[in-house]
Structure 1
Amino acid sequence: MSQQRTGHEAGITGRVGAVTPSAVLGSQPDFPDLPEATVARLPEYLRALHHLAETGHDTVSSEGLALAAGVNSAKLRKDLSHLGSYGTRGVGYDIEPLVGQIEYILGLNKRRAVALVGVGNLGHALAGYAGFASRGFRIAALFDADLTRVGELINGIAVRHIGDIPEVVKSEAISIAVLATPAGAAQAVADQLVAAGVTSILNFAPVVLNLPEQVDVRKVDLAVELQILSFHEHRKSARGAEQAKAVARGAELAKAVARGAVNGSPAATLGEVAA
């Protein structure tokens, strides 16, 4: 889905590279070097923890959090150990400090301003998505090349022309952009964003961007995701067909054995079925 470069449970320890409570409060520990797979799972843990907190929980076991996040508990414990977070046997993880840890690691201890370029059908929907605010992001600017869209209000924000990108990116301190342009315009717009100071791009355009190494890009292609699901459906159908054939062969074999027992020549009858 993405073009991309770049026994334990609840207390928080102070090992080197760990994020301690003091880190959440503003000190500067060594930042942990996390595996990419762990980073990709942290937002799921955070989502599950927020839901648990909202439903009145103060602690959660590794098994409970793993179930809520859709991973196995051993993997979850290993991921959280990279943060220096270990569990208390029989108690589990304290939810509030763990939320603080993960938000710090993901850089969500401050709300990040985001620019969205391209306000067609997809961009318009993204601009109105309420989930960004609850996950630590603020849509600070909307851009489009279509002059007829400039000045349009979407979720209270006026659409600006892409020519205003340098000025707005600087004034709003924007480092992350969402690209929802047509494929043919994506590279040129991405170059504009990078030149203006954007260093991370979420790309919905169906094209691979050629950008400097220091720019982090994640590509979201819904058609590719559907093609992958189509593969899984095809595989399930193929396996189902093979299983049906195996059942049918088994039934024929059972009939052949029965016929052979009656006729007194089982070997010949089994040979006929196998053939």
Structure 2
Amino acid sequence: MFRALREHAELIDQSIDFWEVAPENWIDVGGRFGREFRKYAERYPVVCHGLSLSIGGPTPLDIDFLNSVREFLNEHDIPLYSDHLSACSDHGHLYDLMPIPFTEDAVRHVAERIRTVQEVLERKIAVEHVSYYAAPGQELSESEFINAVITEADCNLLLDVNNAFVNSVNFGYDPYKFIDSLPISRVTYIHIAGHYEEAEDLRIDTHAAAVVDPVWKLLEYVYQNYGSIPTLLERDFNFPPIPELVSEVAQIKQYQARVPSKNSEPAQTLQES
């Protein structure tokens, strides 16, 4: 990994404005890899996107883990932490992001847990709406649920454009209207990624392929209507050569250059988890 980054250091320096890392992969990592990480964290802005918070889970939050996250964020001067609006544990990790029932009870449960996380981390966090394939016990629409959680928890939103598209195909709704229904003023940054087309009416969020044209168009719509929000290109496996990834980052920049920036934060990156 680090070898490939070194081989393309000049290209990366010219193209990448910030990185996203999963803190679970780097907390307490020492030795050569720890030194390499510190070097990159000192060279580029970094944000953290967690994998195991399980903000919608039934078991108590792992406060020891949260304390470790806070120390990691402070050690590397990382301003932003986010995780998924999902459940991923129940007396042990499930290694998948399970949907939270879109109910009023779930809103209260999740919002209380987010407030606790923010108190422990001593900063406001962002939650990402996830891709999902079933909606058990649904009382609210997806966007109603997201809005209610964001409002009650007083937290921010990580907008995942690919998830919005995937869910729109799987559940038959308009992704543009869905995005318009979200609290965009709370968006800290955007995720964009590729997915797998299982069938005409079933898409699987994989982060393992190039971004497809309908997702690019949805991202362009967000920029045109809400400004050039900082955007992260996710890729978790099936990695192509780095120049191919950088070409997708360049496409993000092309879209962003056509509209005013929402703020002065970095605007695009590759994911390194």
Q: Which has the higher contact order (CA 8 A, sep 6+)?
A: 2
TM (normalized to structure 1)?
0.34
Whichever of the two has the greater Rg, that structure is 1
Q: What's the TM-score once normalised by structure 2's chain length?
A: 0.35
More helix by share: 1
More strand by share: 2
